[in-house]
Amino acid sequence: MKKIVLLVIVNISLMAHMTFSNPQPTFIHPRKWLIKLHVDNYHTVHHTLGAIYNLLSLYPPDSLSVLVIAYGKGDKVLMKNYNKLALTHIKSLMNYRVKFVVCENTMKTMGWKKKQFIKGVDYVKFGIADVLEKKQAGWIDVTPY
């Protein structure tokens, strides 16, 4: 309970002092946030998902596009047998149009199949190459943890 109260206070204080740079983020011109997910450590994943929730609550509705590109060990986070609480949060974030992407190269290396992953994820041939291309296209690469 104390953690929830602290998070609410932190969010309120952030909103009170937040000044958006020009051009202001809008539905037509959203900020584009790229997150690299390359670990399967629950603690790191939990904090990364929390950071996504925090920023979604900070920015005006539909003014922040979030893309999480998983590769390496990060692919495991999007598998059906990963931590149930984390998967619940991921599915909730998908409802807010946060996009999660799985690296097919890692899947091939590990012998994993698409049926092992949660519904709603997208796939790319090479996760790291997708990161490079998204950065070139103007996505802001900030991985919280």
Q: Is the pLDDT of residue 6 over 50?
A: no
Q: Output phi, psi for 143, to 5 deg.
A: -105, 115
Q: Is the pLDDT of residue 140 over 50?
A: yes
Q: pLDDT digit string (tens) for 20-58?
A: 778 777 888 888 999 999 999 999 999 999 999 999 999
Q: Is the pLDDT of residue 118 over 70?
A: yes
What's the predicted TM-score (pTM) here?
0.85
Q: Tokens representing 115? A: 């049926």
Lowest model confidence (mean pLDDT) among 24-28, 67-71, 75-79, 94-98 = 24-28
For residues 135, 133, 69, 58, the Cα torsion angle rounded to the nearest 10 degrees is 30
Calpha distance 32→16 (Å, rounded)? 22
The structural domains of the chain, with segments of one domain joined by +, span 22-141
Q: Is the pLDDT of residue 105 over 50?
A: yes
Q: Is the pLDDT of residue 130 over 90?
A: yes
- Right CATH for 22-141 from 3.90.1310.10, 3.40.50.12160, 3.40.1260.10, 3.40.1030.10: 3.40.1260.10
Q: What is the mean pLDDT of residues 61-90?
A: 96
